[in-house]
Amino acid sequence: MEDKNLIMNTYVFEELMKQGQFQIEWLEKIKNLGIQTVEIRREYLRDTEELTKLKEKAEELDMTLFFAVPDVLFPGVLMSKETLRQYFEEYSTLGAKQFKIVAGYDEDLNDVDIEILKSLMTEYGILHLTLENDQEDYSTPEKIKGILGKLKDAGINAGMTFDTGNFLATGQSPLESAKALKDDVTFIHMKNIKTDTKEMTLIDEGDINMFDLLAVFSEDVKRAIEYPCGDNPFETVKGEIEKLKKK
């Protein structure tokens, strides 16, 4: 795997976050690991001023930022326009190059909602929207394909963030889900888990054969390490990167 397609999600540094550190403190150390792109987690932001500081630091380091929002785009109908506008404004302030949000339900998705979404994406210069599967009953390959199909039919450049662990957590086969969705997937959240406890593990220690799963997708699809790496995360994630390079 080429380093340009390996992304770091800041979930890796959960323990450091609990200790009071800020996401900006990790950027240079991440770059020193050979990673050029970092996915910033919205829930780790303590105030909106961090967005500008992160943008400036990323520019200084010549790094790219993605933005991950832990909310559901279609909780029924489209989420409130005001909330979505706020998220897009934050994305813009961050200078991010990708916007990720949970997909949600497709049953009540309508033309008015789609036009609102399309208009806001145009206003904020969001060229690509990536929707993630969650640990809820709406996160099946069929339902995600339904949402993406409607958005694409309306001219929205939308793809899927394939979260490997979330499919297993909802009793679905990650491998079969990957085969069903591979043409829609534009980003991967790599996490392994134990089926019985839903506990997240290192890349090769859970019940998902991660390397067989990744082989379903083109190597051009960007993939993020997205699981906590303990009290010494930089050393641990360095080992995880080496495992991925050897696959």
DSSP conformational letter for 7: E
Q: pTM of the prediction?
A: 0.96
- pLDDT tens across 86-129, in order? 999 999 999 999 999 999 988 889 999 999 999 999 999 999 99
Instruction: State the residue for tokens 């890349």.
Output: 203
Query: Distances in Å between the alpha carbon of 164 and those of 40, 100, 196, 201, 223?
Result: 19, 15, 16, 12, 11
> What distance in Å separates the CA atoms of residue 215 and residue 233, rounded to the nearest whole number?
26
Instruction: State the residue for tokens 């049953």.
Output: 107
> What distance in Å separates the CA atoms of residue 50 and residue 59, rounded to the nearest whole number?
14
DSSP per position, 92-121: HHHT-S-EEEEEE--TT--HHHHHHHHHHH
- pLDDT tens across 25-45, in order? 999 999 999 999 999 999 999
Phi/psi at 161 (5° precision): -95, 115
Decide if pLDDT at 1 tops 50.
no
Q: Which helix (H) or strand (E) holds 72?
A: strand 64-74
